[in-house]
Structure 1
């Protein structure tokens, strides 16, 4: 099952196991069970601390558990954890085998202290780059707390189960049989959702923080670069991010990042976060900004109010809040999101195998999505608002060569239809004739660009009609001491490498502002000093 090179690498990792573990298999006579048995035999042969046992006692076949001998610690995979999930398998072997996690001691203790019995089930697909974060987080929680159980399920191998539970997007997580979450979630997010007091404790901690010299809002490529460049100047730097990594986390393949021929979004996001943590940067994750309050006096402190109830203060602020997928904003879209309306063809495409889908958008992302989906689904209808596709010519040639793809131009999507639980079709208007048409289908993939995450800044700084933050050549906004960078700004060409450069520039501009602008005493401090005098 595993080639010689992979076995050699895996053997090296498995040397870190300190406690004996069992691989307990449940198999049938199918081909996938035979593949799984081969995989488990290969793994067991690489370490004398691993034994393979076949019990066939689990309802899901093929599946297997990784069990720490003599304890209640275990995790389970239903299916073959290859592709994006192979790393999840390796980590599970190590963690159940006693190898310590690199997570903070505080977070580990928080997991161990969770009170209650938690039975998690996660549906994933092998092509999903978002799923490993969820699978690995829940596996680690199971390895740390014996009252937590987790099974990761390859939805493609259990289609009847997926249909019955109406799983139409991955990752989808159930807790004790009830829906818990959909989409990418990190360990901190999952724990915070379970620990009801976590938000208030974190807000109380943030309230005690001293003012920063530079405070970065947003943890994507622009924000990470800004934080690194600011910290290298030796000034007090903080970064508050709702989701460290931002839109990069949802990017499947990155092939135009200079000097790196190919990488994946989650890998780049992890590298960015580690690079930031290599410096003295106060990283505050899972923090969503709600309001920006300009300094009361020149050179004074700028305030950023957070959704959790705390407020941060800083002499300068760099806004790098990025962008998110643009929605169609038609009836039925929100109602059927993750019930047939999807935004990631790589993640959710395998769930629509043999079904009919539409792709909305004729740019590069839309055409690429249609090409990818054509190899999985029965029929793809691509709908473009303009009179012609906007994708590169090479992509259009490939698209038109596919027999199960229909292209509709001058089409305006008007409504998403469903039966209350899932998508059943969509309607669009022919912009040439005005005729309304309906397509019966099971999935809709929206690929119509991005919208900046700047709603919370309206009325505070200058924004374009599209919501982009207006910046000058130095990254300065309309508010003194407030800079901005990345996809949320008016800088053209929304690219990772450009966002990184803009973030670095904004940090340098903020530092220049600091050395040229004397720090002002806050009005309250001045009043208090006068009262004492």
Structure 2
């Protein structure tokens, strides 16, 4: 099942097993069970610490569980965890066997405190780059808390379940039989969702924070760059972020960050966090900022009010709030999100195998999505508002060459239609004639760019008509001591490398501001 190279790597990993583990297989005579048996036998060959037995009682077939001998299984894979999920398999083998997960002890303590039973089912696709993060997070929880059980289900293998539960986006997580969440989540985020008292506890903890010299709002490349450059000056630095890593968490591959030939978005985000923490930056993750309270006069403290009620104070602030996917803002979009309306063709494309879909957006991301989906779905309709596609010529040429791709330009999407809780059609207006049309389909992928995360700044910082923070060449905003960087600003070219550089520049400007403020106070 596994080639010799992969098998050798797995053998090396399993040498780290602290104790014995048992694989419990639920198999039959099907082809998929035969493949799974081959995988399990390969794992068995890689370590004398691994044993195998079969037990089909109460389990999906084919599936296998990982447990310690004599214990009830808490981690199960219903499907072959290969592709993006192979790392999930390796980590599950090690962690169930007692190998410590790379999760902060404070987070693990919160996991151990969770009361169960907590029975999770996570539906994934092997092409989804977000799914492994959720699978691995839940498996960590099951490894350290006996009240947590996790079953990872390959939606392509168990299509009847996917259809019955009307799952049209992955990862989709069920808890005790009910919908729990959809999309990428970390252990910290899952625990926060389960802990109903989290906000009150966070507010009390954060309210006790001492004032910062530089407080960065946002944890993407701009925020991380600002934090590293500020902390290296030896001043008290903090980051408050809704989700550390920002858009990079949802990026499939990064191949244009200088000196890093190739990496994935989630790994890039994890590396940024490790780098930031190396300098002792106080990272306050999963926190949303409600407003900025300007200093009463130059040199006074700036307030950062959080949605949970806590007030943070800092001598200077760097706004690096980034951007998010732009919505169509048409009837039906919100209603049918994850029920046919999707934003990640790599993650959710396999769920639309053999179906008809539309991609809205004629830039690089939209045309790339149409090309990728054309190899999976029955037909793709690519819809662009402008007179021509805006993507690179090589992508446009490829899209036009595909027999199952129809390209519509000067077409304005006006409605997403649904029936029985799922998408069944898209309406658009022909801008040349004014006539409206209806396309029968099962999925709509929205790829129309980004919108800055600046809604909370409207009453404090000057924004342009696109909602971007207006900054000068050094990252100054209209407020003394408040700087900004990255995709949320008027700086052109929304790229990771540009954002990181702009964040670093904003931190240097903040440090210069602090020096001059101190000199002025002394004078």
Q: Same fold (TM over 0.5)?
A: yes
Structure 2 residue aligned with 1:271: 271
Q: Counterparts in 2 of 1:296-445, with a 5 A limit?
A: 296-445=296-445
Per-residue CA deviations over 1:96-144 (Å, capped at 9, x if unaligned) read: 0001122122211211111221110000111111111111111111111
Structure 1 residue aligned with 2:107: 107
Instruction: Please state if 1:470 is matched with 2:478.
Output: no
Distance 1:111 1:220 in 2: 26
Distance 1:466 1:457 in 2: 13
Change in Cα spacing, 1:306 to 1:80, as seen in structure 2 (3 Å) is: same
Structure 1 residue aligned with 2:50: 50
Is the Cα contact below 8 Å between 1:342 and 1:444 reproduced in 2? yes
Is the Cα contact below 8 Å between 1:298 and 1:520 reproduced in 2? no
Deviation at 1:7, TM superposition (A): 1.9
Deviation at 1:36, TM superposition (A): 1.3
Moved more, 257-266 or 286-295: 257-266
Deviation at 1:29, TM superposition (A): 2.1
Distance 2:309 2:347 in 1: 34
Deviation at 1:46, TM superposition (A): 1.1
Distance 1:142 1:520 in 2: 56
Distance 2:460 2:445 in 1: 35
Is the Cα contact below 8 Å between 1:73 and 1:96 reproduced in 2? no
Deviation at 1:308, TM superposition (A): 1.6
Distance 2:266 2:519 in 1: 39
Structure 2 residue aligned with 1:146: 146
CA RMSD of aligned residues (A): 1.2
Deviation at 1:317, TM superposition (A): 0.4
Deviation at 1:47, TM superposition (A): 1.1
Q: Secondary structure at the match of 1:321?
A: coil
Structure 1 residue aligned with 2:251: 251
Structure 2 residue aligned with 1:530: none
Change in Cα spacing, 1:519 to 1:36, as seen in structure 2 (3 Å) is: farther
Q: Secondary structure at the match of 2:459?
A: coil
Instruction: Please state if 1:40 is matched with 2:40.
Output: yes
Structure 1 residue aligned with 2:157: 157
Is the Cα contact below 8 Å between 1:73 and 1:145 reproduced in 2? no
Q: Counterparts in 2 of 1:210-249, with a 5 A limit?
A: 210-249=210-249
Moved more, 56-65 or 261-270: 56-65
Per-residue CA deviations over 1:77-105 (Å, capped at 9, x if unaligned) read: 11011111111111111110001122122
Deviation at 1:260, TM superposition (A): 2.1
Structure 2 residue aligned with 1:203: 203
Deviation at 1:37, TM superposition (A): 1.1
Per-residue CA deviations over 1:462-498 (Å, capped at 9, x if unaligned) read: 0001000000000111101001111000000100010
Distance 2:420 2:297 in 1: 55
Per-residue CA deviations over 1:130-166 (Å, capped at 9, x if unaligned) read: 1111111111111111111110111011111100001
Deviation at 1:284, TM superposition (A): 0.6
Moved more, 106-115 or 294-303: 106-115
Q: Secondary structure at the match of 1:70?
A: coil
Runs (5+) with no aligned partner, structure 1: 522-533
Distance 1:235 1:158 in 2: 54
Is the Cα contact below 8 Å between 1:73 and 1:146 reproduced in 2? no
Q: Secondary structure at the match of 1:153?
A: strand
Structure 1 residue aligned with 2:62: 62
Deviation at 1:59, TM superposition (A): 4.2
Moved more, 435-444 or 412-421: 412-421
Per-residue CA deviations over 1:364-390 (Å, capped at 9, x if unaligned) read: 000000000000000000000001111
Deviation at 1:8, TM superposition (A): 2.0
Deviation at 1:300, TM superposition (A): 0.6
Distance 2:19 2:520 in 1: 59
Q: Secondary structure at the match of 1:45?
A: helix
Instruction: Please state if 1:446 is matched with 2:446.
Output: yes
Distance 1:113 1:461 in 2: 42
Distance 2:488 2:339 in 1: 29
Distance 1:498 1:272 in 2: 15
Runs (5+) with no aligned partner, structure 2: none
Deviation at 1:518, TM superposition (A): 2.6
Distance 1:242 1:148 in 2: 26
Deviation at 1:196, TM superposition (A): 1.4
Distance 1:273 1:72 in 2: 35
TM-score, normalisation: structure 1:
0.96
Instruction: Please state if 1:118 is matched with 2:118.
Output: yes
Q: Secondary structure at the match of 1:180?
A: strand
Moved more, 430-439 or 62-71: 62-71
Distance 2:283 2:148 in 1: 28
Moved more, 500-509 or 106-115: 106-115
Deviation at 1:201, TM superposition (A): 1.2
Is the Cα contact below 8 Å between 2:65 and 2:73 reproduced in 1? no
Distance 2:435 2:354 in 1: 29
Moved more, 251-260 or 271-280: 251-260
Distance 2:98 2:326 in 1: 44
TM-score, normalisation: structure 2:
0.98
Q: Secondary structure at the match of 2:179?
A: strand
Is the Cα contact below 8 Å between 1:174 and 1:181 reproduced in 2? yes
Is the Cα contact below 8 Å between 1:416 and 1:426 reproduced in 2? yes
